[in-house]
């Protein structure tokens, strides 16, 4: 692929989704967009690129963006953030005087659902220690296809073997042919919606906790800053933000600070809560 063609895809992806495409990822364009070109009846990627130079159909752009997203995820990915959520964040709200018995959690790039369902299973297990509490999990992603998979809640043997404790597999999944289906109870705890992180976020409402893991790594610094600062507005003074293991606020925004000894967990810089924890 020549540089001018590459730039077409680079600009399109940056504008539509924030994803930054570097020249060394040219092979990704070829392997992931060939099937899209075929599906749309173009002889090859070059023919599709020619269409993109004009006024392409909106649906084609959506399919290109979807094909270029990386949906890698797993149940209880990196385990530690889920331990922190269970052992630090939940007890904080549970013991906070005057906090309504309600928690709103946003999974901001939820992929095929393993992350929000992991949180739902934790909340289900903890419900006995938090009687009368109402938990709302909003899970969003830019890919319609991946959201459909998440809603379906069907996972392969390989997927349930990655990070999911056997006790939870036995308790919350049933075998469905060669796949595992997550229980309706857990599915009902998660509300899936299409949402592009580049959009204004005010319509989503306020959250107590935001999980935004392993998506900012694909964005450039100015986009990361905008996304984090928009999220800052959705959190109360004592809200929590979880980022992925390779992500940080350092050098990007001063609005959040890392919680010492809780890797991946961030609180508002102006906030004094939890500092003694």
Ligand X SMILES: C[S@@+](CC[C@H](N)C(=O)[O-])C[C@H]1O[C@@H](n2cnc3c(N)ncnc32)[C@H](O)[C@@H]1O
Tokens of 92: 């904080």
CA distance 234 to 100: 17
Which CB, 172 or 219, lies closer to ligand X? Answer: 219
Q: In this complex, which beta carbon is closest to ligand X, that of residue 42 or of residue 234?
A: 234
Laid out side by side, the sheet with 173-176 consists of: 154-156, 179-182, 173-176
Q: Considering the complex, state which of residue 37 and residue 210 has its C-beta at the smaller distance from ligand X.
A: 210
Tell me how far, at minimum, the Cβ of 18 lies from ligand X, in Å.
5
CB of 99 to ligand X, least distance (A): 26
Q: Is 112 left (phi over 0), alpha (psi -120 to 50) or beta?
A: alpha
Contacts for 160 with CB less than 8 Å, ≥ 6 apart: 75, 169, 173, 180
Q: Quick one: 123 or 216, whose CB is closer to ligand X? A: 216
* Minimum CB–partner distance for residue 211 and ligand X (Å): 7
Q: Give whichever of 103 and 109 is closer to ligand X, judged by the CB atom.
A: 109
With H, G, I as helix, E, B as strand and everything else as coil, classify residue 273.
coil
Distances (CA, A) of 184 to 62, 146, 151, 172, 276: 30, 19, 10, 9, 39
Shortest distance (Å) from residue 12 CB to ligand X = 13
- What's the min distance (Å) between Cβ of 206 and ligand X? 19
Of the pair 175, 196, the CB lying nearest ligand X is at: 196
Min separation Cβ 120 and ligand X, Å: 14
> For residues 152 and 238, which CB has a smaller minimum distance to ligand X in the complex?
152
Place of tokens 């809200």: 239
CB of 131 to ligand X, least distance (A): 30
In contact, 16 and 61? CB cutoff 8 Å: yes
Angle between helices 3-17 and 58-68 (to 10 degrees): 90
Residues near ligand X (CB under 6 A) are 17-19, 69-73, 77, 109, 111, 115, 141-143, 146, 196-198, 213-215, 244
How long a stretch of residues is the chain? 277
**Alpha-carbon Rg for the chain in angstroms:** 20
Residue tagged 């705890």 (tokens): 189
């Amino acid at each position: 692929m020549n540089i001018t063609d590459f730039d077409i895809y680079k600009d399109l992806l940056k504008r539509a989704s924030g994803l930054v495409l570097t020249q060394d990822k040219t092979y990704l364009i070829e392997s992931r967009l060939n099937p899209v070109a075929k599906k749309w009846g173009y002889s090859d990627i070059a023919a599709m690129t020619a269409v993109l130079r004009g006024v392409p159909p909106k649906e084609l752009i959506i399919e290109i963006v979807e094909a270029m997203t990386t949906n890698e995820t797993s149940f209880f990915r990196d385990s530690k953030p889920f331990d922190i959520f269970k052992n630090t964040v939940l007890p904080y709200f549970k013991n906070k005087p005057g906090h309504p018995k309600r928690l709103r959690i946003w999974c901001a790039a939820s992929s095929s659902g393993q992350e929000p369902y992991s949180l739902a299973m934790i909340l289900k297990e903890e419900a006995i220690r938090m009687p009368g509490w109402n938990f709302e999990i909003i899970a969003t992603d830019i890919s319609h296809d991946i959201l459909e998979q998440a809603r379906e809640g069907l996972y392969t043997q390989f997927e349930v073997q990655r990070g999911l404790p056997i006790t939870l597999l036995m308790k919350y999944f049933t075998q469905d042919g060669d796949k595992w289906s997550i229980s309706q109870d857990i599915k009902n705890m998660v509300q899936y919606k299409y949402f592009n992180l580049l959009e204004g976020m005010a319509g989503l409402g306020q959250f107590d906790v935001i999980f935004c893991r392993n998506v900012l790594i694909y964005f450039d610094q100015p986009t990361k800053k905008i996304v984090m600062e928009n999220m800052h507005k959705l959190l109360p003074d004592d809200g929590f933000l979880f980022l992925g293991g390779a992500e940080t606020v350092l050098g990007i925004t001063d609005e959040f600070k890392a919680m010492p000894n809780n890797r991946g967990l961030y609180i508002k810089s102006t906030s004094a809560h939890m500092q003694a924890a």
